[in-house]
Amino acid sequence: MQTRRLLAILAATALAGLGLTALANPASADTTVTVSPTFQVSPSSIAGTSVTLNNDSNEALVVVSLFLSDGDGTCSVNKVPFCSVQQNGGTATLDIAPGASGALVRLMDTNINNTFATFTVNYPNGSTPAPVIQQFEKPATGTCDEAQPEGLDWGGASSGGWGESWAQWTHEGQGGPVCTRTLAYNTSTATWQVQ
């Protein structure tokens, strides 16, 4: 009789432990980030497959990150219209790209001049993100390094490192010379670097 009672207690303890483990599962964690009227972000880092931004500030915010998308493309400065969150209680839910590990998200003004706040995102069981190719149309005069548009030095990447290539997307799909470079993610420093 005591053996059965001991087995029942052990089984109950094991089931209770499994229940507590399930409650602590990160997949059930809240993935809402709130921006206060003073541009304080809470929490400052989240893990999940998506993030919901709740904008309680008095500014419409543009979301800029190579690791977030709104279904119509990555929330980069090259995306028009931008990924945005309207002011005064506006919300937006964005997908987090697999591989995001401490990836920086910037919340900027609609002119992409000022960064009001930042936070980081992590994709569950993330691995190192794939390299990212950046390109812009080659200027008629000057070098690619001199002509680099603002906003391309993401996540610690330095300016410069541009080479010349050809791409079909320029000149309304007719193709032409472009400035190009590749950014690679360095897991030891958690920054992007020109490759």
Tell me which of 29 and 130 has the higher pLDDT: 130
DSSP bridge pairs for 55: 35, 90
> How many Å from the N-terminal Cα to the C-terminal Cα in the chain?
70
What gap in Å lies between CA 166 and CA 171, rounded to an integer?
11
121 Cβ neighbours under 8 A, 6+ residues apart: 45, 46, 47, 48, 51, 65, 67, 68, 96, 100, 103, 105
- pLDDT greater than 70 at residue 7: no
Query: What is the CB neighbour count within 10 angstroms for residue 41?
Result: 18
For 43-99, the pLDDT digits (tens) are: 988 888 889 999 999 899 999 998 898 888 888 888 888 888 988 889 999 988 887
Confidence (pLDDT) at 176: 93
Work out the percent of the chain whose per-residue pLDDT is above 90: 38
For 18-30, the pLDDT digits (tens) are: 333 333 333 345 7
Confidence of residue 14 (pLDDT cuts 50, 70, 90): very low
Confidence (pLDDT) at 19: 36
Confidence (pLDDT) at 136: 92
Tell me which of 14 and 147 has the higher pLDDT: 147
Confidence (pLDDT) at 36: 92
Which amino acid would we find at residue 62? V
With tokens 């799909």, the residue in question is 173
Half-sphere exposure of 37 (CA within 13 A, CB side): 1
For 155-185, the pLDDT digits (tens) are: 778 899 999 999 998 888 899 999 999 988 7
Q: Which residue in 31, 40, 38 sits closest to 68, CA to CA?
A: 31
Which amino acid would we find at residue 183? L
pTM of the predicted model as reported, rounded to 2 decimal places: 0.52
Rg (CA), the chain: 22
